[in-house]
Amino acid sequence: MDRLSYVIGVDSSTQSTKAALVDAASGRVLAVGRAAHVVTGRDGARESDPELWWQALVDAVTRALEGVDPRAVTGIAVAAQQHGLVVLDGTGHALRPALLWNDTRSAPQAAALTAELGPQGWLERTGSVPVASMTAAKWRWLRENEPRAAEAAAAVRLPHDFLTERLSGVAATDPGDASGTCWYNTATGAYDPFLLELLELDGSLLPDVAPGGAACAGRLTAAAAKELGLPEGIPVAAGTGDNMAAAVGLGLGRQGLLGHPVVSLGTSGTVFAATGTRPATAALAGFAATDGAGTYLPLGCTLNCTLAVDKVAGLLGLDREDAVPGGEAVLLPYLDGERTPDLPRAAGLLTGLRHATTPQQLLGAAYEGAAFTLLRALDALPGAVPEAPLRLIGGGARGRAWQATVRRLSGRAVVVPRTTELVALGAAALAAGAAAGEDPVAVATAWGAGEGEEYPPLERDRAARDRIAAVLDTHLSLGAP
**Pair 48, 40: CB distance under 8 Å:** yes
**Pair 274, 402: CB distance under 8 Å:** no
**Annotated catalytic residue: which of 242, 310, 336, 342?**
242
**Pair 129, 114: CB distance under 8 Å:** yes
Rounded CA separation 9/214 (Å): 12
Active-site residue flag, 89: no
Rounded CA separation 421/51 (Å): 23
Residue from 25, 441, 431 nearest 253 by CA: 441
135-145 per-residue burial string, b: 16 or more CB within 10 A, e: under 16: bbbbbbbbbee
Three-state DSSP string of the chain: CCCCCEEEEEEECCCEEEEEEEECCCCCEEEEEEEECCCECCCCCCEECHHHHHHHHHHHHHHHCCCCCHHHEEEEEEEECCCCEEEECCCCCECCCEECCCCHHHHHHHHHHHHHHCHHHHHHHHCCCCCCCCHHHHHHHHHHHCHHHHHHCCEEECHHHHHHHHHHCCCEECHHHHCCCCCEECCCCEECHHHHHHHCCCHHHCCEECCCCCCEEEECCHHHHHHHCCCCCCEEECCEEHHHHHHHHCCECCCCECCCCEEEECCCEEEECCECCCCCCCCCEEEECCCCCCCEEEEEEECCCHHHHHHHHHHHCCCCCCCCCCCCCEEECCECEECCCCECCCCCEEECCCCCCCHHHHHHHHHHHHHHHHHHHHHCCCCCCCCCCEEEECCCCCCHHHHHHHHHHHCCCEEEECCCCHHHHHHHHHHHHHHHCCCHHHHHHHHCCCCEEEECCCCCCHHHHHHHHHHHHHHHHCCCC
Examine residue 97 and say whether the peptide bond preceding it is cis (omega within 30 degrees of 0). no
Rounded CA separation 112/99 (Å): 19
- Provide the annotated active-site residues: 242
